[in-house]
Amino acid sequence: MFPIDIDFSRLKDVLAYDPQAPMIFSSGIFLWLFAAFMVVYALLQRKYTARILFVTLFSYYFYYKSSGTYFFLLALVTVCDFLLAQWMDRTKGRWKRKGLVTLSLGVNLGLLAYFKYTNFLGGVIASLMGGEFTALDIFLPVGISFFTFQSLSYTIDVYRKDIKPLTNILDYAFYVSFFPQLVAGPIVRARDFIPQIRKPLFVSQEMFGRGIFLILSGLFKKAIISDYISVNFVERIFDNPTLYSGVENLMGVYGYALQIYCDFSGYSDMAIGIALLLGFHFNLNFNSPYKSASITEFWRRWHISLSSWLRDYLYISLGGNRKGKFRQYLNLIITMFLGGLWHGASWNFVLWGTFHGIALALHKMWMSITGRKKGEQSHGWRRVFGVIITFHFVCLCWIFFRNADFQNSMDMLRQIFTTFRPQLFPQLIEGYWRVFALMLLGFLLHFTPDSWENAACRGVIRLPFLGKALLMVALIYLVIQMKSSEIQPFIYFQF
């Protein structure tokens, strides 16, 4: 027998929170921990409460590895909203129920306001009053925007009597903290997820194969395409737009459009895939958004869980389309303005959201003038033209979304419209041929017919277990060969 020498200090460092390396799905530490997690999870297959407790504890540890001791905020939101929903269910008076749901809004939005908007609002107030504001040292907990919105959907649904409140706080803690979607979505509705909690654990061959396909797809988008074009091209352009010609800036904008899609939809794919391996179903969060022929269609395909949340809990609460056309257009602008602010405490996000709100209002107005019906889609060249216009409008908005500084956005636009210099394009392709090859591949995959993706998914499902394992190993090997630096954190971790 050979003695086993374990370096416990090294093990402690690996398992402890490291603010410079938060745990993400594409990291090595997560893959090893998830493998061990799955062994225990399978052993607890028939022990419902023990399995729910185990997953909840693992989810809290996952959040600790992402945000350190701020996991207590997750616990605070969970306990408050669970108790408020219980109280609300026992309360008959309409105004008392309104008071309780308002209290839930206060707790969740109050946390967001403090951690996310204190410095922004302080700066705005100071500038209006002619004073100076020294930013406070406030750490933004990862995923706070996601789990607060998720918990709010539960208390609002209980208030509206769309669902009955849970009676077991462990089940609610499981729902709020479920690690696949905890830190960057999708925002899972209580009405969709809670009925699955106490169901017998069952993962069919189709679920397992689809889960593997989504994990592979998400890892490819994130670690192969998004990270590579970001580090090797996009960041350079956006950091110093005046150093580059207009054609380089335009290619940088196209690159960022692909980067943010591959980054965020890659995370969503992996979250949905991991959930499937655990026996849970999440709704689709991205549906090839750059295929959209209008801005309205874009928001039906992009970050579907957030856009539907804003529609159901904000737009409809403001009156939706029930109070005349002008109010409908105003409600759309207000909803997207607040949606932009949800992404971050910065004027660039406010501007981004407002642009989208105005575009949605103008599109609704155009639909009303031309008499087109809701959901009616264009075809042929008319659709191609609509896709091109919509894509470039979205790219224009991405400039303000990506740049923290307004001047940088204006510099980038000035370079594109006044210093384009198309003759540099061949040199650009030659110097960054790997980046452009990946961009071309990414856009080609994005615009392929859905039937092709479904056929690829069925192919993975039909593979034997060994084939799936070999496919996973091959992709991980490719990731290791491609990466020029450490895997980048997901973009939506900052929101």
SS3 label, residue 216:
helix
CA angle 110, 112, 114 (to 5 degrees): 70
Would you call 379 a catalytic residue per the annotation?
Answer: no
H helices, E strands: number in the chain: 23, 0
DSSP string, 154-166: HHHHHHTTSSPPP
Residue tagged active-site, from 281, 343, 363, 392: 343
Distance CA 247, CA 91 (A): 62
Say how far apart CA 74 and CA 403 lie, in whole Å. Answer: 30
Question: How far apart are the C-alpha atoms of 249 and 472, rounded to whole Å?
Answer: 36
Instruction: Determine the 3-state secondary structure of 209 from DSSP.
Output: helix
Pairwise CA distance, residues 174 & 178, whole Å: 6
Instruction: Return the ∠ at Cα 417 (arms to 414 and 421), rounded to 5°.
Output: 110
User: Which DSSP letter does residue 186 get?
Assistant: -
Measure the CA dihedral 315/321/324/330, to 10°: 30
8 A C-beta contact, residue 231 and residue 432 = no
**What whole-number distance in Å separates Cα of residue 405 and Cα of residue 372?**
39
The rounded distance, in Å, linking the Cα atoms of 279 and 388 is: 39
Do the beta carbons of residue 55 and residue 178 sit within 8 Å? yes
Catalytic annotation, residues: 343
